[in-house]
Amino acid sequence: MRLYLINPSNPLVSIVRVKESRWNRYRVWKPLSLMVLAGLTPPEWEITIVDENLGVPDYPAMPRPDLVGITAFTAQANRAYEVAAHFRRLGVPVVMGGIHATMCLNEVMERVDSVATGEAESIWRQVLEDTQHGCLKRRYDGGLAEIDNVPPARHDLLAGGYALGAIQTTRGCPMNCNFCSVTAFNGAHYRQRPIPDVVQEFQLIREKHVLVVDDNLIGTRPEHIARAKDLFRAMAQANLRKQWIAQATVNFGDDEELLSLAAKAGCRGVFIGFESPSPEGLLELGKKFNLLKGRDFRATVRRIQRHNILVVGSFIIGLDNDKPGIGKHTANVASQYGVDNLNAMFLTPLPGTRLWDQMKSEGRIALDTFPEDWKYYTLTFPVARYEHLSLDGIIEEMIFCDRDFYSMPRILRRVWGNLWRRRKPLITLVGNLSYRSNVRLNCKAYADFKCQQGKRHYAVSEV
């Protein structure tokens, strides 16, 4: 039995434009969902994982599979349907799963033979057996998996071409921020994989550098932090020789022992969602723990950096609270916090989030011809109507923010600061140049977007 597992591309996502900017090579990530599915697949299936981000293969020239499984974030949905249509024309059954299939079940149902919602661990074998017996069902609901039943992902199946391997150690988040799909998809309960499973899986990864995909590696409660410490101790003891980056809340910087253990375990960077420079903005987003009274973000960032861990700060522009000037303000605040990189995104209503429900009920979703418009749901396009910012206005704010934070004088100041504090300046320089090179690409993408969607954006907003 032959199985193709496909990660569709979206040419509008900068990470896939490797040819336009060589720095993007460092931003193409392994599709872990498909590697996990492969790990759940019995040996009688011959598996090929296709990651279109590395190039679209000549499907007609490939042998006919018995089943095609497609994963998709919302931004990949359009391409997913094209791939599905190709294989369905050949009479090959197509099953689609992942976040978009779960949040937009009816839309996906119309375009594939079978939809798998939720996590796949409890249903995937059934999908395969039903395919073998020619009785694939229209829908399988995986719900939330038992976290100690997650087998290691097949890290051997994807060839080279990736700068980073990928692993997951926890699922779920209780915080339910209004713009994020994680609580709706993976549940509010923070589920932690057994530490020996994680260490063992780390040893299967070939890449020296690894992305730990957890939404919040350290969780929200003291017992979660204790587990993170135990994990880091076990990783250091296993002498993995890996360098890894992860996502965590700002609380990561509150505990010296945690930081020291993380660094010993190989942590080299952390992605932190600061989201908004103002308390009103944080309240609007429901990002409660960034609101801790008296928190000194600059000191927290410094504490993390002292352990030679880079900090990437993420901010969202377009909140109801954001007025003209927010771009400059965000760049200034990110510089004051002292983050090594700034990742600024447009506020985007993703299906399944509270923000989606709110904006939909207020008629503020401007790009709403689905599925065509999903390709713009990359957080890099202003797809909604914003309270105090027009389409032109919000794009200008974003460009100003990026140009300011990634201006040469600011980059050199950051590199010099790193030299002064004996941190690795080269990594900061490479990271900053990578982002800087994308500013130019983004400006072109915004111009095309305005040209193609601008009239429609304004026309709709006048209704």
Q: Which residues bind ligand SF4 (CB under 6 A)?
A: 173, 175-177, 180, 182-183, 215-216, 273
158 binds, among ligand SF4, ligand B12, none (CB under 5 to 8 A by kind): none
Other residues' Cβ atoms within 10 Å of the Cβ of residue 244: 26
Nearer to ligand B12, 185 or 423 (CB): 185
- Taking phi first (over 0 means left), then psi (-120 to 50 degrees means alpha), and beta for anything else, what does residue 146 get? beta
Shortest distance (Å) from residue 459 CB to ligand B12: 26
Nearer to ligand B12, 46 or 256 (CB): 46
168 binds, among ligand SF4, ligand B12, none (CB under 5 to 8 A by kind): ligand B12
Shortest distance (Å) from residue 245 CB to ligand SF4: 16
Shortest distance (Å) from residue 250 CB to ligand SF4: 10
Nearer to ligand B12, 102 or 418 (CB): 102
Nearer to ligand SF4, 114 or 216 (CB): 216
Shortest distance (Å) from residue 294 CB to ligand B12: 28
Rounded Cα distance between 393 and 322, Å, is 11
175 binds, among ligand B12, ligand SF4, none (CB under 5 to 8 A by kind): ligand SF4
Nearer to ligand B12, 187 or 418 (CB): 187
Q: Applying CB under 6 A, which residues contact ligand B12?
A: 10, 13, 15, 29, 31-33, 36-37, 69-71, 73-76, 95-100, 103, 116, 119-121, 124, 145, 168, 180-182, 186, 213, 215, 350-351, 378-379
Residue count of the chain: 463
- On whether the CB atoms of residues 213 and 181 are closer than 8 A, the answer is no
305 binds, among ligand SF4, ligand B12, none (CB under 5 to 8 A by kind): none
Rounded Cα distance between 198 and 218, Å, is 15
Nearer to ligand SF4, 104 or 175 (CB): 175
Own/partner pairs, 405-408, CB within 8 angstroms, 24+ separation: 405/331, 405/334, 405/335, 405/342, 405/344, 406/342, 406/432, 406/435, 406/436, 406/439
Shortest distance (Å) from residue 238 CB to ligand B12: 22
Other residues' Cβ atoms within 10 Å of the Cβ of residue 19: 9
Nearer to ligand B12, 31 or 277 (CB): 31
Structure-token match 């690894």, residue found = 210
Shortest distance (Å) from residue 462 CB to ligand B12: 28
Shortest distance (Å) from residue 210 CB to ligand SF4: 19
350 binds, among ligand SF4, ligand B12, none (CB under 5 to 8 A by kind): ligand B12
Shortest distance (Å) from residue 449 CB to ligand B12: 15
Instruction: Give exposure, 43-73, as e/b (b: 16+ Cβ within 10 Å).
Output: eebebebbbbbbebeebeeeeebebbbbbbb
Nearer to ligand B12, 13 or 240 (CB): 13
13 binds, among ligand SF4, ligand B12, none (CB under 5 to 8 A by kind): ligand B12
Rounded Cα distance between 371 and 79, Å, is 10
Rounded Cα distance between 444 and 59, Å, is 31
Nearer to ligand B12, 32 or 310 (CB): 32
165 binds, among ligand B12, ligand SF4, none (CB under 5 to 8 A by kind): none
Shortest distance (Å) from residue 117 CB to ligand B12: 9
Nearer to ligand B12, 215 or 423 (CB): 215
386 binds, among ligand B12, ligand SF4, none (CB under 5 to 8 A by kind): none
Shortest distance (Å) from residue 183 CB to ligand SF4: 5
Nearer to ligand SF4, 81 or 356 (CB): 356
338 binds, among ligand B12, ligand SF4, none (CB under 5 to 8 A by kind): none
Shortest distance (Å) from residue 412 CB to ligand B12: 27
